[in-house]
Amino acid sequence: MTAQLERYRVLVAGILSLVLTMGIARFAYTPLLPIMQQQAGLGLSEGGWLASINYIGYLCGAITASLISNLILKDRLYRLGLVLAVITTAGMGLTENLWLWSLLRFVAGFCSATGLLMGSGLILNWLIRHDHRSELGIHFGGVGLGIAFCAIAVEWMSHSLSWDQQWLWLTLIGSIILIPAWRWLPPPDSSSVTRSGGAMQDNPPGAGFMRLFMLAYFCAGVGYVISATFIVAIVDQLPGLAGKGALTFMVLGLAAMPACIVWDLIARRIGDINALISAFALQIVGILLPVLDASITFAMLGAILFGGTFIGIVSLVLTMAGRYYPTRPAKMMGKMTIAYGVAQILAPAITGYLATGSGNYNDGLYLAAILMVLGTAMMIRLKYSTQ
């Protein structure tokens, strides 16, 4: 096998792992949420709590990734996560018990962390070790692909299948995706040199940089999770836009697919921190557009801006983390994601509570925008503190 073909297989394995663990196991819940509210009696507050429980599982996965340095163990957890992603997706369609749903969303959240962090860490380690460019833009296209796929699949299946049947069909598709995601990622190499003989050495940032970086990423987590979790329900509630939420979610996913590659190119030109500041600012606009004008045009523009920035922020941050720790990329990735994950636990529950009182999600979107403004200010401070 040629080196280039091997690289493509590894990248496809990573993309498919994200389609399964992030797209199907995690984000299928977003387009299915209003359908479950209509057909399975899931309330607004309960829907928010299920999302928060999913992020608790995600946070536990992030903590696990930050504590484990052994690449072999991370590889095993990555593969276990692929299997559990399929099992938890099936379980969502086999019960209507809120407690069982909570358990399944928790485990699905843990799986999404193994796919995003451990899988990304293993792939970045492989790229660096084999003297390829240390960028994850192509790999993170799997998140956008997974979102778009789930939105399209749910929209298509909703015309003939009930909510539980849709979960089971997604399980079948996930089972097929699991095979190349498992087989095409080689076992990790834990040696201290690259294929060409270059040394792999960690170069961690200072404590002050890390604190500010984690706080900014916490704000990004709030900005991300409210729109990502509730966007279908938000759009469906807008006057004259009932039924357009799934379409908006699909547009979001399509915008996210090439976004990481675009942000990699932007970062090469203007630097990682400047690229992050730009992405934060654009995401604020994307979050607020559906509130500013209840039209399909603004909803779609908001989805494009949000989809084109949130995953770019994640990709840039985790790529930076991997460059600081080339021998154990998931270490700093896990720490950063703990900050991101705490935000994802708190924000959906708060948003669900606010929506129960007001009957809409506008207050949650304002909260997301305010935190993103704070995060942007922190990133600007980071820029000047590192010059």
Specify the pTM.
0.79
pLDDT class of 198 with cuts at 50, 70, 90? low
Element (H, E) at 261: helix 259-270
d(CA 313, CA 276): 6
d(CA 327, CA 343): 28
Contact 25, 93 (CB under 8 A): no
φ/ψ of 203, rounded to 5, equals -140, 70
d(CA 302, CA 369): 12
Task: Tell me the pLDDT tens digit for each residue of 245-275.
Answer: 778 878 888 888 888 889 989 998 999 999 9
Q: Which CATH class is domain 3-186+205-385?
A: mainly alpha
Q: Tell me the Cα Rg of the chain.
A: 20
Per-domain residue ranges for the chain?
A: 3-186+205-385
pLDDT class of 76 with cuts at 50, 70, 90? very high
d(CA 379, CA 153): 37
Q: How many other C-beta atoms are found inside a 10 Å radius of the C-beta of residue 295?
A: 15
d(CA 296, CA 62): 36
- What proportion of the chain, given as a percentage, has pLDDT over 90? 34
Counting Cα atoms < 13 Å in the Cβ hemisphere of 111 gives: 29
Residue that the structure tokens 């498992």 belong to: 182
Task: Report pLDDT for 285.
Answer: 93
Query: Given a cut of 80, is residue 220 above it in pLDDT?
Result: yes
Task: Report pLDDT for 121.
Answer: 83
Would you list the DSSP string of 265-316?
HHHHHH-HHHHHHHHHHHHHHHHHHHHH--SHHHHHHHHHHHHHHHHHHHHH
Burial class (CB in 10 A: 0-12, 13-18, 19+), 182: middle
